[in-house]
Chain A
Amino acid sequence: MTACRFIGMKKKPPVIATCLSIFALGAAALPIAHAKDPNTDTATRDTITFIFPKEMFQGTPAPVKRANLEDAENYVPHKSVTVPAGTKNLAKDKPVTSSDDFPIIGELAMVTDGDKDAADGSFVELAPEKQWVQIDLGKSADIEFVMVWHYHKNARAYDDVVVQISDDPEFQKGVKTLFNNDHDNSSGLGKGSDPAYIDKNHGRLIDASGSSGRFVRLYSAGNTANALNHYIEVEVWGK
């Protein structure tokens, strides 16, 4: 579809008229670019550049197939993001609770310890099927985005990933869902339309701009390799 058809024009305008139009639009936009916009002003915005752990896919890759699975080859990870100044990882070393109080491997504290490596000793393994981890940020915060690394030692997609925030530690009221790829509502948290994805070393950025809450809860229900649940690291960026 051409741009002309897209905006509803039936006939193609002459080339010169098009160029003039573009110039006029650009001139009109010029003052806007110079206006004091808190979303673009470098004085009020910070750029966060991510440092990813090294890629560690090992072993014979198991086939990864899921409904609405994102094309891993075409996914471009965020290398940096621009956020309001003062935004930081609020989850670092914050207390973590879980539906599984006795993890199979590792400790819940590993979820927020800053170690994003996939090696043994860097991840926590939770019981099979639907489980959650919950991070207490200490106080309600404006959250920009959540970064999550489930497991990236070999290719796998986690099922029914749901990320929610709330001020209620029980997640009974004031719950906002940031991400949900449970396509058949098997977790009972509502049908989600976000894509299933293969976990990699660059993690997954989940947008939360405009949201606030004290608690961040992340659900999953096993993965394509087995029924277990894993977390290497969760970061909650906000202020």
Chain B
Amino acid sequence: MLATPQRLLFASAVIITLTAAAVLRLQHLELRPMHTDEAVQAAVLRDIWQNGKYIYDPHDLHGPVLVLSSFPLVWLSGAEDFESLKETTLRSTSALWGIVLVAVTLLTGRWTGWKGALVAAGLTTLSPMMVFYARYFIMETPLVVLLVLFGLCVARYFETRSTKWILAGGIIAGIMHATKETFVISVAALALGIVSGFLLRKDRQPEDGFLQFLRPGHLALGFAAAAIASAVLVSFFFTRPSAIADSYTTYLNYLDRGAGESGHEKPWSYYLQLIGWKKMEGGHLWTEALTLALAIAGAIFAFAPGKLSPRARFFTQALAVYVFASLLIYSAIPYKTPWSIMAPLHGSILLTGFGTTRLFQVCCCLPARIALALPLGLGLWHLGQQSIRTNFPPGKGEAPIYANEARNPYLYSQTTTRLLSKVVDTVHEITNLHPDGKAMPVTIIHPEFGWPLPWYFRSLTKVGFWGEEASREIPEQAMAPVIIIDEPWTEALSEQLADYVPTYSNLRQDSILVLYIQSDLFDQLIESRAK
């Protein structure tokens, strides 16, 4: 434990760190256009809020934990209905999870040392990737928080052998399952880390068998707790029991998706480049190489001979194996999305905290410590700068990066700002001219229903969504004053749309939408803009 003056210093540092985490995560949440995944989660929230029902989809969408956790903020925001709900409210939920992540990082101090935990908390606070995805209404940040808590419960269990820790760990595992099914990758890597930690233990007696180490009875208790917690959530408090089986059979879908052609295939080095060194258009460089380098130092200290308590040795060795294994597994899976690597990155941040404090211990003289502190300080400053650039409004003479996929490596299939200016704003402008106002019929013909347009048109009462069935001929009932169509489908529909004026806009960088406005309405629009 720390001495009293050190405790005060530590407490001050914790307050500063948590404040910085809040500042970086809670400001300017409205800037970036809604990502498809965010809009889809918002639609799940609408179903629970308006209809009181949740239907687990084994093909997509994941579990309900993120959405359920957003309700306290939704109620606090004063939003009376889905229409008045704002992006900032939804994203604040993830941001709060991000602040909690910084807090739970501090809890690892029991094993990596309190100073190491503080360094890790600081890095979690400033890490551009951790900040960026804590501002998305997606389940990655909650998943990392739960994973850290699960790891801490497991670590405490192996220290105390108390069933309360295995129960707590089981419940958290169940909640993770109901958050995002891919948690099994991290848990498998963690299990590998624990087994490695056990095998490498120097104080292990020959009679300490593996089964004795695992204690099958306790393990079964943990699994049962996980199964129950998960079942409660995915079945939405047992209102839809079939979802429980679906939440397990869903892995067959994920296996297909992970190995098959999904359009998300990337080379094995994708994640390493993303964390280590990513040069983007306009000369923008993004790097968390400092974290990677110090994590390697942490891993070396974990395995190198030296004075280290068995508890710290076990934890850091298991952590190092977990980070390596999870990075390896994620890199080996062809299906890659940038946010998937958050869990291994946070693991390496924990190792970084440990590695940094050990480095300071090795550098016993003051000049050496200053020589170490200077690049570390510069590195932290650079991480903070990157976080500000990726999320905040640009300063004078700077480009906005928060929605520019060519310059911001953390953006992926991002909705363009042009969609808002060219399509969304125009449609709302037209509703002011149309006699039906918000009840003006709008048709969207798109293979994926034009997400996130359902979010942006939530205040319109007559929006019809059509898929492939309308891609060759628009049905009579789908003809509307405003029709939005996926560009590749427009050629076949051109005759039906002869009386419409098209406006093109990118939905995402690789996907174009065409907004068709009935010509007389278009003339009214031109006239209104001339005034």
Contact = CB atoms under 8 A, between A and B. Distances in A.
A71 to B, nearest CB: 15
A186 B426 CA distance: 9
Contact of B418 (A101, A184, A222): A222
B417 A227 contact: yes
A185 B397 contact: no
A186 B396 contact: no
Contacts of B526: 184-185, 191
Contacts of A81: none
B503 A184 contact: yes
Interface string A176-219: 00000001111010110000000000000000000000000000
A68 to B, nearest CB: 9
A62 B506 CA distance: 10
A19 B487 CA distance: 52
Contacts of A101: 396
A120 B526 CA distance: 38
Interface stretch (B82-90, B236-244, B398-406, B440-448): B398-406
Interface residues of B, number: 31
B512 interface: yes
Interface string B471-504: 0000000000000000100000000000001111
B509 interface: yes
A63 B399 contact: no
14 contacts: A66-B504, A102-B396, A104-B394, A104-B397, A104-B398, A104-B399, A105-B282, A120-B283, A184-B525, A186-B421, A186-B426, A188-B530, A190-B530, A222-B418
Contacts of A62: 509-510
Interface string A50-71: 0000000000001101110000
A103 B397 contact: yes
B522 interface: yes
Contacts of A225: 406, 509
B501 A184 contact: yes
A62 B510 CA distance: 7
Interface of A: 62-63, 65-67, 101-105, 120, 125, 127-129, 183-186, 188, 190-191, 222, 224-228
A191 B522 CA distance: 11
A105 B512 CA distance: 27
A227 B398 contact: no
B504 A67 contact: yes
B522 A227 contact: no
Interface string B7-30: 000000000000000000000000
A61 to B, nearest CB: 11
Given A67-B501, A183-B503, A184-B501, 8 more contacts: A102-B396, A104-B394, A105-B399, A184-B522, A186-B426, A191-B530, A226-B416, A227-B416
B55 to A, nearest CB: 35
**Which 7 pairs, one residue from A and one from B, show the smallest C-beta to C-beta distance?**
A102-B397, A104-B399, A102-B396, A185-B529, A65-B504, A185-B526, A67-B502
A94 to B, nearest CB: 22
A129 B421 contact: yes
Contact of A128 (B400, B487, B525): B400
A105 B283 CA distance: 10
Contacts of B283: 120
Interface in B412-463: 416-418, 421-422, 426
Nearest to B422: A186
Given A183-B503, A185-B526, A224-B506, A63 B512 contact: yes
Nearest to B513: A65
Contacts of A120: 283
Contact of A185 (B487, B506, B530): B530
B510 A65 contact: no
Contacts of B504: 65-67
B406 A63 contact: no
B529 A186 contact: yes
Contact of A65 (B282, B404, B512): B512
A226 B525 CA distance: 24
A226 B509 CA distance: 8
Interface string B262-287: 00000000000000000000110000
B510 A63 contact: yes
A127 B404 CA distance: 12
Given A104-B397, A125-B399, A186-B529, A67 B417 contact: no
Nearest to A226: B404
A224 B406 CA distance: 13
Contacts of B406: 225-226
B418 A228 contact: no
Contacts of A63: 487, 510, 512
B396 to A, nearest CB: 4
B194 to A, nearest CB: 44
A65 B512 CA distance: 8
A228 B281 CA distance: 13
B310 to A, nearest CB: 53
A225 B501 CA distance: 22
B394 to A, nearest CB: 8
Contacts of B397: 102-104
A194 to B, nearest CB: 15
A66 B512 CA distance: 10
